[in-house]
Amino acid sequence: MARTNGKQSAVERKPVSIRDVADASGVSLTTVSLILNNGDQRISEPTRARVLTAIERLGYRPNRLAQGLQNRRSNILAILVPHLRHTFADPYFGELISGIYDRANRSGYKILLEAAGRSFLREKRYLDLFDRCFVDGMLFMGSTDEHRFLHRFRDRKRPFILVNNTWPGLDHVVADYRAAGRLAAEHLVGLGHRRIGMIHGAGDVETARLLIAGFAETLAQHGVELPASCMEDGFYTEEGGAAAAEKLITANPSLTAIFTGNDKMAAGAIQRLQALGRRVPSDVSVVGCDDITQAAFVTPSLTTIRTPLYELGRRSCQRLIERLRGKDEPCQEVLPVELTVRQSTAPAAS
Amino acid sequence: MARTNGKQSAVERKPVSIRDVADASGVSLTTVSLILNNGDQRISEPTRARVLTAIERLGYRPNRLAQGLQNRRSNILAILVPHLRHTFADPYFGELISGIYDRANRSGYKILLEAAGRSFLREKRYLDLFDRCFVDGMLFMGSTDEHRFLHRFRDRKRPFILVNNTWPGLDHVVADYRAAGRLAAEHLVGLGHRRIGMIHGAGDVETARLLIAGFAETLAQHGVELPASCMEDGFYTEEGGAAAAEKLITANPSLTAIFTGNDKMAAGAIQRLQALGRRVPSDVSVVGCDDITQAAFVTPSLTTIRTPLYELGRRSCQRLIERLRGKDEPCQEVLPVELTVRQSTAPAAS
DNA sequence: GTGAAAGCGCTAACAA
DNA sequence: TTGTTAGCGCTTTCAC
């Protein structure tokens, strides 16, 4: 791999080293290090004070490359996202990232961003991140069944957490999507809806399957069918949701309610339904999933199942940090979801 | 500063070093390094092949902490965002980040995420990021006049780029906000609006002032006033936009159009206007700014000024990388904006 | 209590 | 064409 062979860099900075501090305070380099790392032991108060003063005065900061080289830790965690178009602009990922960031920051960990593109996976660069000492641990969000590389983390040799999805043998923190499906179904059935459609996310995502299962099961318990003709894939995007809504309503004109696998698809669906002359919610009710910030600001505001994205991020990171601290128990944590009722659902028309 | 004193880490991994490769292929460690770094020079073909094979077989990856320690580079760039609530979930920042990420990735740079919280600024940790060799360069977005620490980067000793804002003496890449204001004004005036309000972002943001200036100037050129009573701060949030819209329309019931400093405020404004019984756009037209993805999926879909966020991110990162490669010219780049007409604007009613 | 010295994994003069 | 060697800045035994 070619290196950028440019000049060293246009800048020159004072590299104050531990050596300088030692000289300035008339002690050995060991003493300085001891004071920095070993806390209260040994070193006499006067010496300690002198060194601390020198550190302050010189503005010394330990070089973390040198530190890391020594103790084999980078103090950086990687967040891996799938390679989609402008992935980081998606509020779903953004909420998770915010939660992870805040938790990591609290414990002094830095966050490295990485998108799992084709070459990244092909060249197994996710291993590099660990083996080249870039990061101490990794969190992956947005996984699908296609992400076969996840196998490699089952040996638990590299600290790894799957965020808001599951995979056999991997540690994860996930929202209760089965319950999400159930809550949506109960809400709609409770409003008297009987002819209901669903716009789901990709079929190769475990949580999407759980959501569908929970939704269909609960409808069935109430004697409501969810035939294949009432199911459409919305690909988790606004455009996909819009197209799916159009297909659904065209194929099943009598539909009075639609449940979507995320809020983006719901926003797209609402817009398309209105464009097709259906009023929401008086003609058709729509229930979303996730409760991203924007859900409250579409018109009508979206009734949705709240998955605690920020908290999922926090907890995932918490678990990873525990792991890094030596706790070696498998982790399968499920966080509860709840119904948030707004303006996009109403009693069935007929 | 206390270190996490936990166990080394629950895991143990094969650390294949350059030493191992050298031994395995019967050459010196230097030879291996030369092959890795110096490209095609010197080394004979047979030797090179032998070494490359060994590298492959052992799965050797150079430890970047060691590399970095040597050549004082981390190959990591920091993205600094202001510390707001769930900052990373904001599509505005997300688009910029996506652009930066993609450009950085193309040149082999990693991205480190950092939020500029109180302690981060107070303790000057932005300097640590450089001086402790965490990163080679930094991009900052979401800056305000309050971010005084920006002064410290004027000496150009540390590669730094301001993203989508300006600051005296700092390199930046920014959208043409004055033109954005002008385009919005021309659009509304062109539709016959004369009683126009504005919901602006914070007054301590230079781009917000430029936007206001461009908007007011152009209205004035067309003989339209923009009195103080028609200006409200929306704090760049949906809730703020909603509250501002209510104030505006209450104080000036005859308003027929509102321009907002970003799309989030526009979404909030639209929702509140509708809640107050005003139809958008037939009673009141609304123009947003930025054109985030969600702008197309509020109801009615939002007419807005497109600032090329993703491209701003890309260019900013491009500039930073050029800087890292030794180019030392100041950079003040302005990217054009354009009007995107959708459903939220219509000819003036009266 | 404090310091000398070895070594983390790598790069790059300088020799050979 | 290849190898020897001296660090990069830090941590950590082990002596004193």
Q: What is the CATH number of the domain that holds B181?
A: 3.40.50.2300
Supply B225's token pair. Answer: 């006033």
* pLDDT given at position B41: 63
Q: What is the pLDDT of residues A49-103, one digit of tens each?
A: 899 999 999 989 999 999 998 888 899 999 999 999 999 999 999 999 999 999 9
Residues of B in contact with A89 (CB under 8 A): 91, 94-95, 97-98, 292-293, 310
Contact at CB, B37 and A3, closer than 8 angstroms:
yes
Are both B167 and B53 inside the same structural domain? no
Tell me whether residues B86 and A98 touch, CB distance under 8 A: yes
Q: Which of B176, B173, B172 is nearest to B210 (CA)?
A: B176
**What integer pLDDT is reported at residue B45 of this predicted model?**
83
What pLDDT, on the 0 to 100 scale, is given for residue A340?
98
Q: Write the pLDDT tens digit of every residue in B287-334.
A: 999 999 999 999 999 999 999 999 999 999 999 999 999 898 999 999
Tell me: pLDDT of A171 over 60: yes
Which of A10, A65, A88 shows the shortest C-beta gap to B101? A88
CA of B64 to C1' of C7 (A): 17
Count Cβ–Cβ pairs < 8 Å, chain A vs chain B.
Answer: 228
- Cβ–Cβ under 8 Å, residues B112 and B136: no
User: Residue A44 pLDDT > 90, yes or no?
Assistant: no
Buried b (16+ CB within 10 A) or exposed e, B105-135: beeebbbbbbbbeeebeeeebbbbbbbbbbb
Tell me whether residues B72 and A133 touch, CB distance under 8 A. Answer: no
pLDDT at position A2 is: 30
Q: In chain A, what percentage of residues exceed pLDDT 70?
A: 95
> Do both A185 and A284 map to the same domain?
yes
pLDDT of residue B1: 30
CA distance B261 to chain A (A): 17
Residue B80 lies in a domain: yes
Q: Return d(Cα B201, Cα B231) in angstroms, integer.
A: 10
Q: Would you call B110 and A111 a contact, using CB atoms and an 8 Å cutoff? A: no
In this complex, the nucleotide whose C1' atom is nearest to the CA atom of residue B48 is D1
**pLDDT at residue B268 is higher than 70:** yes
User: Which two structure tokens, joined as six digits, stand for A144?
Assistant: 């699908």
Instruction: Indicate the angle between helix axes A177-190 and A206-221, nearest 10 degrees.
Output: 30
Q: Which two tokens stand for residue A296?
A: 């409250």
Which nucleotide across the nucleic acid strands is nearest to A42, CA versus C1'? C1
Between the alpha carbon of residue B113 and those of residues A40, B79, B101, B123, B199, the distances in Å are 33, 5, 11, 18, 30
Averaged pLDDT for residues B266-294: 97
Kindly state whether residues B170 and B317 are assigned to the same domain.
Answer: yes
Do A215 and A187 sit in the same domain of this protein?
A: yes
- Decide if A133 contacts B63 (C-beta within 8 A): yes
Distance CA A265, CA A260 (A): 6
Range of the domain at B30: 3-62
Please say if the pLDDT value at position A302 is more than 50.
yes
Whether B118 and B143 map to the same domain: the answer is yes
Q: Are residues B170 and B181 in the same domain?
A: no
Q: Which two tokens stand for residue A127?
A: 């291993």
Asked, for residue B223, whether it belongs to a domain, the answer is: yes
Query: For residue B67, is it within any domain?
Result: no
Which of B9, B66, B111 comes nearest A112 by C-beta? B111
In whole angstroms, give the CA distance from residue A298 to residue A270: 9
Q: Are residues A234 and A288 in the same domain?
A: yes
B83 and B121 inside one domain:
yes
Structure tokens belonging to residue A167: 């995979």
Which residues in A304-314 are b (16+ Cβ under 10 Å) and which e?
A: bbbbbbbbbbb
Residue nearest to nucleotide C8 (CA to C1'): A70
Neighbour-count burial of A246, counting CB atoms closer than 10 A to its CB (0-12 exposed, 13-18 middle, 19+ buried): middle
Query: Distances from the Cα of B46 to the Cαs of B19, B35, B50, B58, B93, in angstroms?
Result: 19, 12, 6, 18, 51
Of A36, A62, A134, the CB nearest to B64: A134
Tell me what pLDDT residue A41 has. 65
- What pLDDT is recorded for position A256? 97
Asked whether the CA dihedral A285, A291, A292, A298 is positive or negative, the reply is positive
Q: Which of B206, B199, B139, B200 is nearest to B172 (CA)?
A: B139
Site from A58, A67, A86 to mutate, B interface, most B CB atoms within 10 angstroms: A86
Does B10 score more than 50 pLDDT?
no
Bases of strand C lying below 7 A from some protein CB: 1-5, 7-13
Residues A53 and A169 in one domain: no
A79 in Cβ contact with A112 (< 8 Å):
yes
Residues 6+ apart with CB under 8 A from A322: none
CA-based nearest residue to B264, from B292, B233, B243, B230: B292
Rounded Cα–Cα distance for residues A161 and B39 (Å): 38
Tell me the C-alpha distance between B286 and A299, whole Å.
15
B294–A325 C-beta distance less than 8 A? no
| Residue B15 in domain | yes
Q: Which residues pair with A304 in a beta bridge?
A: A288, A340
Report the CATH number that the domain containing residue B27 is assigned in CATH.
1.10.260.40
**Contact (CB<8Å) A10/B128:** no
Q: Could you give the number of structural domains in chain B?
A: 3
- Please tell me whether residue A182 adopts helix, strand or coil conformation: helix
Beta-carbon separation of A61 and B128 below 8 A = yes
> Do residues B151 and B139 lie in contact, with contact meaning Cβ atoms separated by under 8 Å?
no
Tell which residue, A258, A35, A250, A1, has the closest CA to residue B35.
Answer: A1
**Is position A340 within any domain?**
no
| Distance measured from the CA of protein residue A320 to the C1' of nucleotide C3, in angstroms | 39
Residue A349 lies in a domain: no
* B342 in a structural domain: no
Distance to chain A for B164, nearest Cα, Å: 16
- CB A142 within 8 Å of CB A93: yes
Q: Kindly state whether residues A188 and A303 are assigned to the same domain.
A: yes
Give the mutation candidate from A74, A297, A319, A327 for the B interface (greatest B CB count, under 10 A): A297
Cα A233 to Cα A230: distance, rounded to the nearest angstrom: 10
**Alpha carbon distance B132, B150 (integer Å):** 19
Residue A258: CB atoms within 10 A of its CB come to 32
One domain for residues A264 and A303: yes
Do B321 and B267 reside in the same domain of the chain?
no
| pLDDT tens-digit map of B128-181 | 999 998 999 999 999 999 999 999 999 999 999 999 999 999 999 999 999 999
Q: What is the pLDDT of residues B175-206, one digit of tens each?
A: 999 999 999 999 999 999 999 999 999 889 99
Residue A16: nearest nucleotide (C-alpha to C1'): D9
- Report CA(B240)–C1'(C10) in Å, whole number: 54
The proportion of chain B whose per-residue pLDDT surpasses 70, expressed as a percent, equals 94
The rounded distance, in Å, linking the Cα atoms of A317 and A75 is 13
More confident residue, B159 or A16: B159
Is the pLDDT at A11 greater than 50, yes or no?
A: no
Strand D: list protein residues with Cβ under 7 Å.
A 15, 17-19, 29-30, 33-34, 36-38, 60-63, 66-67, 69-71; B 26-31, 34, 42-44, 46-48, 66, 69-70
Q: Could you tell me if residue B70 is inside a domain?
A: no
Residue A286 CB contacts under 8 Å (≥ 6 apart), including other chains = A257, A258, A259, A260, A266, A269, A270, A273, A280, A302, A303, A344, A345
